[in-house]
Amino acid sequence: MKSQQKCIVIFALVCCFAVLVALIFSAVDIWGEDEDGITEDNCSRDCSFQPAARQGRALLSRLQGLKAKGIQLKISSGMIDSTELSTLAKHNAEVHYVNMTALTKGHLLSSFWVVDRKHFYIGSASMDWRSLATRKELGVLVYNCSCLALDLHRVFSLYWGLQYKDFIPSFWSKRLFALFNRDTPLQLTLNSTKAQAYVSTSPEVLIPKDRSNDLEAISRVVQEARHFIYISIIDYLPLLSRNANRYWSRIDGLIREALILRKVRVRLLISCWEKTHPLTFNFIWSLRSLCMDQANCSLEAKFFNPRVQRDGSLQGINHNRFIVTERAIYLGELIDYTL
């Protein structure tokens, strides 16, 4: 009996050793000449490929192949020096560049896709590989919702017509008017649940008739909250600009009202990196101080720190921007809280 047990133990050890050897040789790439003739002596060492960029590269490849399928690709962007857009333009994509700096002294930050006027994506992701590989993004992909897709297509058409313009039109075509807004939202069903939705834009000078602006949309979401408000944002900075220290109270005041008057629980998730403005911490501390001696007043703030890679780049920047309450969701381009 003992001899049988010894044989079993020895056999098990031999099997473990064999498995270990197999794992070692499967995990190690042995140098030498392969079937392509590339060796350690002639392989290229001047590399620019980002390992994390494979998702973005795959998407770019799919977009380049749209022409062969007879699918038209139109892109409106403020990124004049984008390598990806130049590549797509060479593959017969129509690219319109919008000089928003000349029009509003700002930037074109909208990020959305419209497909066949039936489906759409809207979210924080930009059209570069970092958004798909190294940043924390959030977006919504909606299928078979032609009403909202058509309304979003009108926003795209407005941007599309701004190419080469350095002035804002005095009037807008009726084809750019909003189909839905804050007062008359689209009544729809999301996963068997009745809901309302509309598209808002900014700034005010680029808003045609019947379109709600972003400030109206954000204000309504915050004001109608009764239980909680959760906000994810890059910077909480209620200033008119990052350079001019002039306080802008519109949304900061609404959050203070929610905390003090309605006892709404507020949570803030804010990015913290080398470009974070120092006053961000002052404003957060000011909000937290409101709840020090107040019953049922709750404000929590957490700062999201990205990981620094060996090459100095940042991995995992919190790039998404949204507001969610028990009643509504606002998903948009809050690049800072300097709205």
CA–CA separation, 287 vs 299, rounded Å?
Answer: 7
CA 51, 56, 62, 65 torsion-angle sign: negative
Domain covering 7-28+71-210: architecture:
2-Layer Sandwich (3.30)
Q: What is the dihedral of CA 329, 331, 336, 339, to 10 degrees?
A: -80
Burial of 132: CB neighbours in 10 Å, binned 0-12, 13-18, 19+? buried
Q: For position 53, what pLDDT does the model report?
A: 66
Residue 181 · residue 210 · CB < 8 Å: yes
Question: pLDDT value at position 191?
Answer: 76
Fold match flag (7-28+71-210 vs 213-338): yes
For residue 280, which of 234, 222, 216 has the smallest C-alpha distance? 234
Provide the pLDDT for residue 248: 87
Tokens encoding 197:
């939705």
Report how far Cα 35 is from the mean position of its chain's Cα atoms.
Answer: 42
Instruction: Pick the closest to residue 301 from 320, 286, 319 (CA basis).
Output: 286
**154-198, pLDDT tens digit by residue?**
999 999 999 988 889 889 999 999 999 999 999 988 778 889 999
pLDDT value, residue 25:
34
pLDDT score at 109: 86
Tokens of 228: 């909680």
pLDDT tens over the chain, length 339 residues: 444 444 434 444 434 434 333 333 334 443 434 444 544 455 544 444 455 567 778 888 899 999 899 999 999 998 888 888 899 999 999 999 999 989 998 888 888 999 999 999 998 877 666 666 677 888 889 898 999 999 999 999 999 999 988 889 889 999 999 999 999 999 988 778 889 999 999 999 999 999 999 999 999 999 999 999 999 988 898 987 766 678 889 999 999 999 999 999 999 999 888 778 888 999 999 999 999 988 899 999 999 887 766 666 666 677 888 999 999 999 986 544 443
Note if the pTM is more than 0.85: no
Q: 308 and 321 in contact (C-beta within 8 Å)?
A: no
Class of domain 213-338: alpha beta
Domains in the chain: boundaries:
7-28+71-210, 213-338
What is residue 173's three-state secondary structure? coil
